[in-house]
Amino acid sequence: MPRTESLEDCIARMLPYWQMRIETALMAGRKPLVVAHGNSIRGIVKHLDDIPDDEIPGLEIPTGVPLVYDFDEALRPTGSRYLNRS
């Protein structure tokens, strides 16, 4: 059994949760806080921003800096921003 998890594995594990819990909360008008480790958050950003596989290795996501997404009524991202980034 592998002792690591690839980004592909992480996305396969994370995406159903995103769709069942986070999207449901967003559709209900709530503002969920998602806290995740590097590969999980990378998978979420890849999914939301439709980042191609060949570009994802170069994506830098700072540790401990909140990343806020805005969505339209269909839950398509309309923008994102880091909070308090120096």
79 labelled ligand-binding: no
CA 40 – CA 38 distance, rounded (Å): 6
| DSSP line for 12-24 | HHHHHHIIIIIHH
Asked if residue 43 belongs to a known ligand binding site, the reply is no
Length in residues, the chain: 86
What would you report as the CA-atom Rg of the chain, rounded to the nearest whole angstrom? 13
Ramachandran angles phi, psi of 66, nearest 5°:
-60, 135
Annotated binding site for substrate: 38-39
Q: What residues are designated binding site?
A: 38-39
